[in-house]
Amino acid sequence: MTATSLKFRKMNGLGNEILVVDARGTKTIFAPDALRSIAAHPATQFDQLMALYDPQTAGTESFVRIFNADGSEVGACGNGTRCVGWALYTDTGKAKTRIETDAGSLAISVDSIERITVDMGEPNFDWEAIPLGEEFRDTRAIELQIGPIDAPVLHSPSVVNIGNPHAVFWVDDVADHDLGRFGPLLEHHPVFPEGANITLAQVVSSTRVIARTWERGAGLTKACGTAACAVLVTGARKRLLAREATVNVPGGDLQIAWTADNRILMTGPVVLESEGQLKISELEGA
């Protein structure tokens, strides 16, 4: 019998709204206009939609496609991956599992709904891989600024790819800057040919940092897991942070560690808000 609807779980990771949709056993196509419509509905509102498909590689539980609220597709979402980990745990009872995304294979470990750890893979600091629109050999600080040339408001961001492009601006106080104003300008700056997630980071100590993010394709967000990872690894490269620290986002705290073997581990909670069904015909924009 052909499925006519797909189960969804509406969840959040520190306030980052996530819709986990189980499309396993189907070849459902998520149309951009349908995604935007679903994201606009209060019952299914999301920052990112995590679509679970049948695994493509042995040893993985699911291949996951990730969509933003504007209908665009991205390679990684840390908070969404934690939500997927909890959903798979409740389905299978497996505390340790592995999923596959366009950004690679990710291992997930569930201790409780309050503590889920995702191996986010390896950071890529190469300018071509981020990607940047021009060559910068040292991506710890690239030439980019907003404001007067002699007194820029923001300048010299650190850049990295964590499954998607990130730019981190180091500031004295995140509250002093209107990220809602500068975020969209920087997201679409020519130096970022594929756009970028824009983060302001305020170092409190070597093991604590405050971060605020304008998320590519989603806007201001209460939490962006990959941005928290970007803050930690770029801060460690600049010797502003230790290789393990707490990253405070508007929704709460994430624990990020950059291991000796170059893996990024992100630990944090998720919340299950509701469950329901989505009609496949509506998802495909029919």
Residues annotated as part of the active site: 77, 224
Rounded to the nearest 5°, which phi and psi values hold at 176? -80, -5
- Beta bridge pairs of residue 138: none
Residue type, 28: T
User: Structure tokens of 172?
Assistant: 């004295």
**DSSP calls for the chain:** ----EEEEEEEEETTEEEEEEE-TTS-----HHHHHHHHHSTTT--SEEEEEE--SSTT-SEEEEEEETTS-EES--HHHHHHHHHHHHHHH--SEEEEEETTEEEEEEEEETTEEEEE----B--TTTTT-SS--S-TTS-S-EES-TTS-SEE--EEEESSSEEEEEE-S-GGGS-HHHHHHHHHT-TT-TT--EEEEEEEEETTEEEEEEEETTTEEES--HHHHHHHHHHHHHTTSS-SEEEEEETTEEEEEEE-TTS-EEEEE--EEEEEEEEEHHHHTT-
Q: Backbone phi, then psi, for 114, in 5-degree steps?
A: -90, -15
Q: What is the β-pairing status of strands 5-13 and 271-279?
A: antiparallel
Distance from C-alpha of 57 to C-alpha of 55, rounded to nearest angstrom? 6
